[in-house]
Every structure is written in C-alpha cells, then in structure tokens.
Structure 1
Amino acid sequence: MTPASPALSPPPPASTGDTLDLILHHLLPVLLVAALSAKSLVGRWRLVHSKLSILLSSLSAAASASPYSSGNPLFTDLLPNLLTTLRSLEPLSTRCLDPTLPSGKLHLQSDLDIATASLGLHLHDLELLLRSGLLNQANPHSTAIVLSLPSASASRADLSLYVRDLFARLQIGTIDLKIKALDSLQQFLASDPPKIAPVVAQEGDLAFLIRLLDPSSHSLIRDSAAAAVSLLATASASSRRSLFDEGALGPLLRLLDTGSLAVKEKAVVAVEAIAADATNAWAVAAYGGVSILINACRPGSGSPAIQSLAAASLNYISAIDELRASMAEEGAVPILIDLLASGVPLSSKNAALCLWSLASFGGEPIRVSIIEEGGLRNLLQLLHDYSLSADPDISEHTLRAIHALSFSAAAAKTLSSSPGFFVLLTDLIRRSSAATQLAAAAVLSNLSPSDELKRSMAPSMVALVKMLESSKPESAQEMAARALVSLLSVHSNRKELARDEKSVMRLVQMLDPGREEVCKKFPVSVVLALAAGGGGGCRRRLGDAGVSSQLQKLADADVPGARKALHRIAGGRFKNLFSFVRRE
C-alpha cells in the first residue's frame, strides 16, 4: 500500500507588489488588446477598453508611489478584488472573438455588464485613493486597522491627512472598517470640536457622510454617521454651514421622524443647531420639518432631550412671520402647552419661549388660542413651580410668555385679580436675576391690579428703583419706571418709598444731567408719581434731598415731565410753609 502523500498547503498569498506587477504587466496589456479585438458586443467592449486604459494609468501612478502605496491597507485590499474582476474578463473576451456567439448572447451580455460594473467600482475606489494623497506620502496611520488620534500638537497638514484617510476608509472599506472609521471620526471631533470640525468640513467628503444617513445604510453605520453629523453641527459655525450646504437637513429630519430613539436624539441635536440660523429655519419648514418637530414634542414620542430640542427648533421657526400661522395650523399650540407641564425643566423652558414668540408676534387669534387651550394656567403653574429654580431662565421665559398673553383682555383680567401671582412677582423682582426682574416689571406695568394688590407689592419698590439705574438692556429703565408709577398710585406706597432715604437719594442722583447712562424722563416720571397728592411728606423729603435743583436743570433742558414735577414739589413746599404761618 502506497503511503498517502502529504496534504499540499495552500500557496502563500501574493504580495502587493507581485499582484500589482501581474495586473500591470500581464493582465492589462492582454485585456486591452482583447477589448479591441472583440467581434461581438463591440460597443460594450469599447467601454471596457476605456475603463482599462484609465485603470492602467491610475495603477501606474499608484505603483510609482511605492513603498507608501504597498503599505496602505485600502490599496492592498483593493488589488485582490481587482485581480478577480480582471480575470473574469479573460474568458469573456475569448467568447466574444466569435461573432456568432454560439453559446448565447444574453447570458454573455449579462456577465460582461456585471464585470464592467465591478471594474467601474474598483476604478472609483482607486481614483479616490489617488485624490486623497494617501498613496503618495508617508502616513503613520496607513497600516493601522483602527486609526489612532493625532497628537494635540499635530500640524494642520497631519490633521488633513488623517481626515482624508478616515474618509477613504469610509468610502472604500468593508462594513467593519467603515464602522471603525466612524468611531475614530467621532473621537477625533470630540477631542477638540472648534479646532477639528472645520478641518473635517474642509478636507472630508461631507456629502458622502450625509448619504450614510439614508435608511438603506447599515444600521450601525447610519447610527455612527448620525453621531458624527451631530458633532459637526454643534462644533462650529463653518462645519454647521457646510452640512447645511451639502443637504444634511432633509436626511436628519427623516431620521428624527422614523429613526430609533438613539438616532432621533443625535438627529434632533443637529437639527436644532442648524435651525438656529434664521436662513436655515426656513428650510426646516420647506422639508416638512414643522410637523415632524411637533410630533417629536408629543408626550411619549421620545426622550425628554428630544422634546426639549424639538421645542427649541420650533422656537427658531416661530420667529419667522410667515411660518407662525403654519405652526398653529399644524397643531403646535396644544402640544407646547402640554410640554409646559412635562416636569422636565429644559422642555418646559423651551416650550415657554416658543409660546412667547407665538403670542408676541402671532396676533390676537394665536393669543386667544393659547389661553383657551389652558396656556395661561400652565404658565402660572410653571412659574410657581420654578420661581426658586437654580435655572433663572425658566422664570424669565415663563414671564415673557405671560407678558405677551397679558395684551389679551381676558388674560389681563385673570392676572390682575390673582393675589398669588403678585406675591410671585414681588419675590422675583426682589431676588431674581436682572433678566427675570425685567420680565416681571414688564408684566406688572401691563396690568391693572387693585390698590390692595399694589400695596402687597410695596416690598419690590426698592429693587425697582435700583433697576432704574440699569443701562442694559435698554428697556430696563422704562419697565422699572412704568412699574413704579403704577405702584405709586397708592398713597401708602408713596409714603413707604419716600421714607427710604437710600431710594430717594438714588432718584436724586439719577436726575443729575451728568449721569448720561440714565434716560432722565424715567426717573422724572417716578418723582412726579412720588410727589402726587395726598399729603406733603413725600414732597418735603424730595425737596430736602435736593431734587428741586436737579429738576430745574432738567426743566431748562426741556426733559418731559421735569417742569411739572418741579412745580408740584415747589408748590407743595409753599403750601406747607403757608399752613405753618397760619398756625403761628
């Protein structure tokens, strides 16, 4: 019995150089001649010849870049696949030498079309590698399966090379390589977003990255691409603009509408960042994004993060006159009102801000709609719940929405007869941030509460006097003055403020023509209200503080109300003196 021969081990894989040599010097020359010699399907073989000629030129360029090209994993992975395609063309060319095609034309035509399409894909990948420059220069990352991040001190050239390598892997590599490249891209962007994002936008193929958001993409690739786009959208204005210009908004809105929860969260971050630009906000509506964003705000439609950012996006859209009516027609108002009561501070805050915009600029019909849907009730509850919140923006945005609604007679009547609301206003004016104080003063100045409610707000007057000195924002002095004039219509409030020497001295100092940061008509209106009838004690204290001399200067300068205030104070002092003489 003859001994069994040992099993033959498979031949070692050919090196990159050997494969390249085989293609360049053996296969391509033969196929180029064969393509011109074909007697059947001549038109198709002319197309093949054209592609083979381009391939010869491109491979020659890649070969001249050795040893860099031979060490690039994308290039080394490409060559075996290219070799397989070229070898499939050999028998096809032989069969096409016979014009009668005895074995049948349709099957041969199909095989040739498949091989030609594969050849076109390989050629596309090779040209992409050549354009990227990855085959023509030393790249420390070129042989790595998982790219390591460039150092913090890396030059712009190194960063650019790294980005081109990442995007080449995205477009040419296998699914695993694409996923690893996307992971590396996310880490790269997160390492220093303001610095890295513009480089990625300039050197990377954003259009291809956006195409990965398509529903037909592999789910892992689509999810990772959404995360990368989200980082680019929030990192810098230039990268955000590049995404918009490349058409990212439509795919992002589609993901927000139909994607998984994780993908929706990434998509809405990007949509909110893009929509913050007024020009882009128009495009959101053009892509049908209003209804998508409204649905994203619905209870149970997503996470609190999705709801809050969707509400913020709607707020940007509501700033556009022509789109507010569309928002109302799409059903935004009741959804936003429900969001006020979500219990999630950021969602409630953004909903309040959006309702403020709708109520401020949408006209009386939208204000009535908000009130009828329970918007005022929910806003008051939100103000009560978060009046002492660590986030002062919640109270500010809520008050701004309430102020906008107060221009409706029904809302003004409800607010003016709500003691609890005025307790909150008093506390907010005394203890909150400057922006919240301004919003509270604006609400107060727009209402007509009873004298009893005005008396309950007396503790806020000192803070309002201080607010009169604020140079920013411009409306602060006006709102403080209007609120004070309203409160000083009550005699007891006038007496209380006049007894506060610091507040009186502040008013006198604000009347000084040298204090240019204070618009004089506002402290003048407060002095005029403080010197109103009902006893001369207030006028006497103002006179003793030196207000008359300041008012005289302002009267000479024709400041509105100054002359009237001067006459009121001087007349009061004369009457007091006359009464004293008569008693003597």
Structure 2
Amino acid sequence: MGTQSDPAPVREETAEEMVARIGGTMPAALDAVRTAAGFPGRWKAIVVNLEKLWVCLPILSSHLGQLETHDNALCRELLQSVPDTLATATDIAGRCRAPLTAGKLQLRNSIDALAVKVEVNLRDCELLVKIGELYDDSSSSRPLDDITSTCSVRELQRLLALLQMSHTEAKYLALDGILEALHKDDKCLASMLDDANASAMVELLTASWPMVVREKAATVVCHMAGSYCCKDVLVSQGALMALIKLAESGSVVGRQKAAVALHHLASRSYEAEAVVMWQGGLLPLIEMCRRKNGDSVTQSAAAGTLKNISAAPDLRQVLANHGIIRVMVGLLGRGDAVPESKEHAVQCLVNLTAGYNGDELRRAILSEGGLRGLLLYLGGDNDDQHQAAVSAIRNLVRVISTSSEGDTTMKRLAGEQGCVSLLVRTMLEHNSKSARQVAAQALASLATYPPNAKEMNKDDKCVAGLVQLLDPSHYSTATIYYAIQCLLSLASTKRSRKLMISHSANGHLKKLMDVHGATELLQRLEGGMLRSLFSSSKQ
C-alpha cells in the first residue's frame, strides 16, 4: 500500500497581492458607503478616509523593501485588517437604506465605530509610509561624518511614528527604543516633538495601560518636560492631568517621574493654575511632601511644584486652604527632608508672605512656627540659600511690627516658640549683614512685648550684639535704626544700661545723632551715669 504524500504548503500571499486584492474590493465598498441613507455627515467622513486609504496603500506597498522586519510584520497586519474594515463598511451601509425605521441609535453607534476603525487604518498606513520614506537610500550621498547623526535622527523619527500606531506591540517597542536613545542624546528627541507625538506619549500615561508602560512613558515625558520647547506642546495635549493622576495612584517610579515632570511644567502661572484648578491637582503633591521617609527625588520635585504654584498671587489662598503652610514649615524642621526640599519650602514661604495684602497668610505662618523654622534654616551651613530665608523672615516681621492686639498675640507666639534666642544667635553669628539686619528688626518688634524684652535682658550676648550693630562703618542706617529701637526697649533696666555702657554704646551713639532714637537712648544712658555718679558722691 503506497504512502500518501503530505499536502503542498499553502503559499503565503505577498503584500503586493494583498494590496491588489484590497484594491479590487475597494470600489464596491465605496459605492455602498456613498449610497447609504441617513447620517450624511458621518458617511461623508468615512468616504473621505476610505479614498485616502485607497491612495495610500499602493504607496505603502512600494516601500516594503525598505522596511525592517518588525515594520513589515506591522504592515502585513494592517493589510489583513483593511479587508475586514471594508466588509464591515459594506454590511452597515447595506442596512442603511431609506427610509430608516427602527434601530437608529444602534446604527449610529455602529457607524461611529466604523468611522474610528477606518481612521485607525488610515493613520497606521500613513505612519508606515512615513517610516518607509525614512529608509529611502537618501543618505548615500551624504558625507561620511554625517551618517551617524542622520541615522540617529532617522531612527528617532521611526520610533515616534511607531509610537502613534494603534498596534500595542509597536508602542512597546517604540518606548523601549526612545528610552535607549535618551541615554545617548536627550536633546535630539525634544527637537522632534510635535502634537501627534506628544498626544501618543500622554495617552500612555493613563490608567488604561499597564503600570510598566506608564512608568516608561513618564520617564520619557519627564525628560521632555525639562526642555523649554516641549512644555507648551505637552501641556496642550493634556500632560498635566495625566501626570497628576499618575502621581496620585502610580507606582513609586511612576510617582517620582510624574512629580519631576510636573515640577518642570508648572513653571509659569497659567500652567500652575491648571495644576491647582483641576480636581485633585494639589492633594497628591502635598501628600508627597508630607510623607515621611519617602523618596527624596519625589519629595523635592513635589515641593518645587508647589513653590512654582505659590508664585501666582491669586492661588496662594487656595494653597493655604489645602494646608500648604503646615507642610512647608514641617519640611524645614524635618531631618529626613533633603536640602533641595527645604530650599523649595523656604522659597514657597517667601512667595506666600510677599505682597501688601498677605497679612492673614503671614499670621498663619507665624502660628505654625514658620519664623522658628526659617531661623533654624538660617543657622545652617548653606550660605548660598540664606537670602531667601532672610526675605521670608523680613516679610513675617511686618506682622509683628505693629502694636495691635492681634499682632501682640503674634509677638507672644514668636517668643513662646523660642525665636528670641534664635534671633540673637543670628545677629551674633551670621556672616550675612542682611541676616543681621532682619534679626535686629525682628528683635526690635518682639522687644515691645514685655516678656520678650525680659528674656532679652537676661541674655548678656543680646545687648552686646545690638551695641555691635551701632558701628556705622560696618552696618547700614537701617540696621542701626533697628538696633537702637531694640536697645530703647531694653534700657528700662539698670542692668541692661550698664551692659550698654560697658560695650561703648555711648561712643557710637554720639556719632549717630541723625538716626531716630539715638539722642533719646544716649540721654537715658548718660542720665543713668549721672545718677550713679551722684549716688557715689553722697556716699
């Protein structure tokens, strides 16, 4: 009995044959769509895209020789999908015959789904044509030293095109390739970003994708957000909201990348307003700053974003309502907070205390221990960042410099929080003359509250430091003025007057007769000397 031979393998249809087969069925599908009844606007849009697809497919076929293996596979998948689309179009159009009676809503939904399918086929076809054109042998005539850069740019263009494909695997490969390219040259990609590329990238940040994809997309967006030329296009394509959602519910890596990207993007007032006004924009950022022993990069980026937002005057009260004051003051006193986070916190407090209408916020900062936190920060080692703290302290002193009942409460709070001794230390030890001036100004204000003056009188270094500030060869008139005002408050006790005299306050004051308060203070000191002299002569 003879053996039966194996059947001959079925020959795989070539791409050219697939295009020809599609071309044979396209006219009938177009005729059916053109004669469909009802929903004329929807059918017209489908006709336009089918006609574009018919023109595009032969062009794609001509580029197949230049495509890489993976891109050829995508091309075959597209060519397998188009016949199904044409069959669906013919079927739905056949059901749309006048007069339309029942099932209009179902028909409309089917037409809308068909329109999306046709649009996706057309977009994928156009993108594959674009990729094929990139691989035309146009670089052969270029100088040898241009080949490397040309290939790099061409590959990035290919990856960005793949990123926009509807095929999931194409997006994954594009992301991996883009991340690899960023390690080699992180500037080239930013120059190529357009609305379509940005939209495709932002879409991968959403919760509909696996977390590993969202993390990779966030890494790419984080790189691009650092480029000034990319900010507007990312914001216009909805990156802020997508990043906020990722910062709220993403993985550790996702939250970190989202926070850094938001820090870059929220650097102008209208972008900051978008972050605040959209639902949930502030809460994840504040939570990142509040979280103890969290990721330092995430914490710093979140604090930087909130600092950027606080630069917009109209948004400061919104921030305060969400508890930002306590969070920023807390960062200053936390041992686990990195220096960058503290720098952002200080600048945020500078912004919140700025302006002529911010007394309510300044009082809130004082109540939360903000002055103490700033003074402790000022006592650190980083001189380059001290000017911001000095500015914030100066802004806070505005509130405690009046004698109203409410501001007397602020003076009491500042004293109870240990600010007097910290101000004395700042005045004595800080190298910055502006820091010493603001310390003298704050002490002059606090000294008008008797318990604070009593504490200063107990500290011999306080009086000595204030007298030191009377030297016109080293300090400005403003510094001298505040030192005199503070000494006037302390001169009510005999002990303090003796200390002032022993440190040569009289000699300084005689050179400062044009400074307000100098004459009065000198009279009180010399009057005390005369009383002591008369008391000694009577004995």
The two structures have a TM-score, normalised by structure 2, of 0.70
- Residue 428 of structure 1: CA displacement? 6.4
Question: 2:193 aligns to what SS in structure 1?
Answer: helix
Structure 2: which amino acid aligns with 1:354?
C
| Cα distance in 2, alignment partners of residues 114 and 417 from structure 1 | 69
- Residue 439 of structure 1: CA displacement? 5.1
Deviation string 1:201-234 (CA, Å, 9 cap, x unpaired) is: 3597212212222222332222211121122222
Indicate whether 1:78 and 2:75 are aligned. yes
CA contact (8 A) 2:293 2:336 kept: no
- Residue 320 of structure 1: CA displacement? 2.9
> Hey, what does 1:165 align to over in structure 2?
158
> Hey, what does 2:360 align to over in structure 1?
365
Give the 3 Å change call, closer, same or farther, for CA 52–135 of structure 1 in structure 2.
farther
Question: 1:345 aligns to what SS in structure 2?
Answer: coil
Indicate whether 1:322 and 2:314 are aligned. yes
CA contact (8 A) 1:78 1:122 kept: no
- Residue 485 of structure 1: CA displacement? 4.1
Indicate whether 1:247 and 2:235 are aligned. no
- Residue 390 of structure 1: CA displacement? 3.9
Question: 1:282 aligns to what SS in structure 2?
Answer: helix
Structure 2: gaps of 5 or more residues: 140-144, 401-406, 448-452, 492-496, 527-539
Map 1:209-220 to 2 at 5 A: 209-220=201-212
- Residue 332 of structure 1: CA displacement? 3.2
Give the 3 Å change call, closer, same or farther, for CA 6–478 of structure 1 in structure 2.
farther
Deviation string 1:525-579 (CA, Å, 9 cap, x unpaired) is: 499789955899xxxxxxxxxxxxxxxxxxxxxxxxxxxxxxxxxxxxxxxxxxx
> Hey, what does 1:581 align to over in structure 2?
none
| Cα distance in 1, alignment partners of residues 194 and 314 from structure 2 | 34
> Hey, what does 1:128 align to over in structure 2?
127
Indicate whether 1:456 and 2:458 are aligned. no
> Hey, what does 1:55 align to over in structure 2?
53
Give the 3 Å change call, closer, same or farther, for CA 62–413 of structure 1 in structure 2.
same
- Residue 115 of structure 1: CA displacement? 7.5
Give the 3 Å change call, closer, same or farther, for CA 486–206 of structure 1 in structure 2.
same
**Match for residue 181 of structure 1 among 146, 160, 174:** 174
Q: 217-226 or 303-312: which moved more?
A: 303-312
CA contact (8 A) 2:88 2:114 kept: no
> Hey, what does 2:323 align to over in structure 1?
331
> Hey, what does 1:430 align to over in structure 2?
429
> Hey, what does 2:220 align to over in structure 1?
228
Question: Cα RMSD over matched residues?
Answer: 5.1
CA contact (8 A) 1:484 1:526 kept: no
CA contact (8 A) 1:328 1:366 kept: yes
| Cα distance in 1, alignment partners of residues 2 and 472 from structure 2 | 111
**Match for residue 29 of structure 2 among 35, 39, 42:** 35
| Cα distance in 2, alignment partners of residues 479 and 416 from structure 1 | 23
CA contact (8 A) 2:427 2:439 kept: yes
Give the 3 Å change call, closer, same or farther, for CA 202–48 of structure 1 in structure 2.
closer
> Hey, what does 1:412 align to over in structure 2?
411
Structure 1: which amino acid aligns with 2:2?
T
Structure 2: which amino acid aligns with 1:127?
E
CA contact (8 A) 1:229 1:270 kept: yes
Give the 3 Å change call, closer, same or farther, for CA 203–292 of structure 1 in structure 2.
closer
CA contact (8 A) 1:345 1:394 kept: no
Q: 318-327 or 440-449: which moved more?
A: 440-449
Map 1:248-287 to 2 at 5 A: 248-287=239-278
Question: 2:164 aligns to what SS in structure 1?
Answer: helix
| Cα distance in 2, alignment partners of residues 459 and 414 from structure 1 | 23
Deviation string 1:418-470 (CA, Å, 9 cap, x unpaired) is: 8874356435663445775565455446443545557536358768969957x
Question: 2:254 aligns to what SS in structure 1?
Answer: helix
- Residue 391 of structure 1: CA displacement? 3.5
Give the 3 Å change call, closer, same or farther, for CA 53–394 of structure 1 in structure 2.
closer
In the comparison of the two structures, how many residue pairs are matched?
Answer: 483
Structure 2: which amino acid aligns with 1:456?
C
| Cα distance in 2, alignment partners of residues 37 and 438 from structure 1 | 86
Question: 1:172 aligns to what SS in structure 2?
Answer: coil
Give the 3 Å change call, closer, same or farther, for CA 123–88 of structure 1 in structure 2.
closer
> Hey, what does 2:334 align to over in structure 1?
342
Give the 3 Å change call, closer, same or farther, for CA 120–23 of structure 1 in structure 2.
farther
| Cα distance in 2, alignment partners of residues 38 and 419 from structure 1 | 85
**Match for residue 380 of structure 1 among 355, 360, 372:** 372
The two structures have a TM-score, normalised by structure 1, of 0.65
Deviation string 1:450-497 (CA, Å, 9 cap, x unpaired) is: 45557536358768969957xxxxxxx565444454577676557747
- Residue 169 of structure 1: CA displacement? 1.4
CA contact (8 A) 1:353 1:397 kept: yes
| Cα distance in 2, alignment partners of residues 533 and 487 from structure 1 | 16
> Hey, what does 1:555 align to over in structure 2?
none
| Cα distance in 1, alignment partners of residues 29 and 91 from structure 2 | 10
| Cα distance in 1, alignment partners of residues 147 and 481 from structure 2 | 57
Deviation string 1:141-173 (CA, Å, 9 cap, x unpaired) is: xxxxxxxxxx99965x66653432121111227
| Cα distance in 2, alignment partners of residues 269 and 389 from structure 1 | 26
Map 1:149-164 to 2 at 5 A: 155=149, 160-164=153-157
| Cα distance in 1, alignment partners of residues 426 and 318 from structure 2 | 38
- Tell me the percent identity: 22
Structure 2: which amino acid aligns with 1:54?
K
Q: 212-221 or 437-446: which moved more?
A: 437-446
- Residue 125 of structure 1: CA displacement? 0.8
| Cα distance in 2, alignment partners of residues 36 and 363 from structure 1 | 67
Structure 2: which amino acid aligns with 1:175?
T
- Residue 31 of structure 1: CA displacement? 0.8
- Residue 135 of structure 1: CA displacement? 4.4
| Cα distance in 1, alignment partners of residues 467 and 81 from structure 2 | 87
| Cα distance in 2, alignment partners of residues 467 and 183 from structure 1 | 65
| Cα distance in 2, alignment partners of residues 166 and 428 from structure 1 | 60
**Match for residue 205 of structure 1 among 197, 203, 224:** 197
Map 1:508-523 to 2 at 5 A: none
Give the 3 Å change call, closer, same or farther, for CA 95–174 of structure 1 in structure 2.
closer
- Residue 27 of structure 1: CA displacement? 1.0
- Residue 264 of structure 1: CA displacement? 1.8
Structure 1: which amino acid aligns with 2:22?
L
| Cα distance in 1, alignment partners of residues 198 and 155 from structure 2 | 15
CA contact (8 A) 1:36 1:46 kept: no
Give the 3 Å change call, closer, same or farther, for CA 415–494 of structure 1 in structure 2.
farther
- Residue 287 of structure 1: CA displacement? 1.4
| Cα distance in 1, alignment partners of residues 391 and 337 from structure 2 | 16
- Residue 67 of structure 1: CA displacement? 4.2
Q: 90-99 or 56-65: which moved more?
A: 90-99
Give the 3 Å change call, closer, same or farther, for CA 137–365 of structure 1 in structure 2.
same
